[in-house]
């Protein structure tokens, strides 16, 4: 299952440059239900009662049972770089909207180095079950945040576990910070250099069972094939919904051989643009020397390329 993120794009040639961001999910696969999440704390006077422990994304991502930075811990992080534009999704049985961004510690050299910063739920202004508005059209802390911003954050640690259904096996856990306070320190910063990762014969980024989701959670990586050479792409086929790919439909997710690393249509229409008769990219058999992206630990895990330069051709 893939969470399709709303990220409007304008295509130039085979791939797009980003133009805007929002919350639509035309597949219905972007739903997370946080109805039982009691860690939310809006920006109000109650926040002054909290003592925020200084932490890094690595501290939270690698926290063990009984550790300082588990679910519910109040933490502060400084100098994080936002890796991609904010996106939204429905919550609480599609009654509410939440918004989130991936952010990384630029000083981190031992992954995992990144984490999701997430807003508290707001009632969906468009009504239950409808598309959420764009982040820029809300009053949430991510209203003015964009890729390349440097931010400081105070908030509460949360987790979201995805467990495979048979015959697949494994559980992947996403870590996030529910925002109490967010400060935009500066804009248009250089993104962290992607951490080089050579994939294995059976990819460490196989959904659910791959070890790479925990090892590189939230981190901007550059993936190259095991043994050198090039990757070859295969689009995911869906039985309903998706976009016309000329003989089959796809939700924009794809895998790369050798290995089988899983990639998602991270920012809606980035891979599957609207307006054409056949709306799919990369076409089956497209070759790449490397592909960079953000390691997303939701719904079994996927890597999310966020810009044109993430795809390096032979």
Beta-sheet pairing, 171-186 with 114-118: parallel
- Which of 153, 186, 219 is the last residue in one of the domains? 186
Residue 206 structural domain: 195-312
Do 173 and 115 lie in one domain? The reply is yes
Do 120 and 59 lie in one domain? The reply is yes
Band (271; pLDDT cuts 50, 70, 90): low
Do 138 and 74 lie in one domain? The reply is yes
CA angle, corner 183, sides to 306 and 16, nearest 5? 15
- Model confidence pLDDT, tens digit, residues 132-189: 898 999 999 999 999 999 999 999 999 999 999 998 899 999 999 999 999 999 999 9
- Model confidence pLDDT, tens digit, residues 80-108: 999 999 988 888 888 999 999 999 999 99
pTM of the model: 0.84
- Which of 186, 211, 236 is the last residue in one of the domains? 186
Band (256; pLDDT cuts 50, 70, 90): very high
Do 199 and 119 lie in one domain? The reply is no
Do 244 and 280 lie in one domain? The reply is yes
Query: How many other CB atoms sit within 10 Å of the CB of residue 123?
Result: 11
Do 89 and 132 lie in one domain? The reply is yes
Q: What is the pLDDT of residue 217?
A: 98
Do 182 and 223 lie in one domain? The reply is no
Q: Which residue has 């094939």 as its token pair?
A: 225
- Give per-residue burial for 73-112: e unless 16+ CB within 10 Å, then b: bbbbbeebbbbbbbbbbbbbebebbbbbbbbbbbebeebb
Percent helix, strand and coil across the chain, each to the nearest 5: 5, 35, 55
Do 30 and 155 lie in one domain? The reply is yes
Do 152 and 248 lie in one domain? The reply is no
Do 224 and 295 lie in one domain? The reply is yes
Picking from 306, 229, 240, 224, the residue whose alpha carbon sits closest to that of residue 268 is 306
Do 182 and 203 lie in one domain? The reply is no
The domain tally of the chain equals 2
């Amino acid at each position: 299952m893939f969470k399709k993120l709303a990220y409007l794009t304008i295509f130039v040639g085979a791939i797009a440059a980003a133009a805007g961001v929002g919350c639509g999910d035309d597949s219905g696969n972007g739903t997370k239900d946080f109805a039982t999440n009691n860690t939310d704390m809006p920006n109000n006077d109650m926040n002054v009662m909290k003592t925020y422990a200084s932490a890094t994304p690595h501290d939270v991502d690698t926290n063990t049972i009984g550790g300082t930075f588990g679910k519910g811990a109040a933490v502060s992080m400084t100098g994080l770089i936002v890796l991609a534009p904010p996106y939204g999704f429905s919550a609480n049985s599609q009654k509410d909207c939440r918004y989130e961004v991936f952010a990384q510690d630029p000083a981190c050299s031992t992954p995992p180095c990144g984490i999701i910063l997430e807003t508290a739920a707001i009632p969906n202004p468009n009504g239950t079950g409808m598309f959420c508005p764009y982040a820029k059209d809300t009053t949430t802390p991510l209203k003015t945040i964009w890729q390349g911003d440097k931010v400081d954050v105070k908030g509460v640690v949360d987790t979201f576990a995805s467990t495979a259904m048979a015959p697949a096996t494994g559980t992947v856990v996403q870590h996030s910070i529910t925002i109490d306070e967010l400060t935009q320190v500066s804009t248009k910063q250089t993104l962290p250099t992607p951490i080089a990762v050579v994939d294995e014969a059976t990819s460490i980024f196989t959904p659910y069972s791959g070890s790479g989701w925990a090892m590189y959670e939230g981190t901007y990586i550059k993936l190259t094939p095991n043994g050198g050479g090039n990757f070859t792409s295969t689009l995911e086929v869906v039985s309903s919904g998706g976009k016309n790919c000329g003989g089959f439909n796809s939700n924009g997710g794809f895998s790369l051989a050798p290995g089988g690393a899983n990639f998602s249509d991270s920012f809606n229409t980035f891979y599957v643009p609207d307006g054409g008769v056949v709306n799919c990219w990369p076409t089956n058999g497209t070759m790449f020397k490397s592909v960079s992206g953000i390691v997303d630990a939701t719904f079994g895990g996927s890597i999310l390329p966020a810009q044109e330069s993430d795809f390096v051709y032979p």
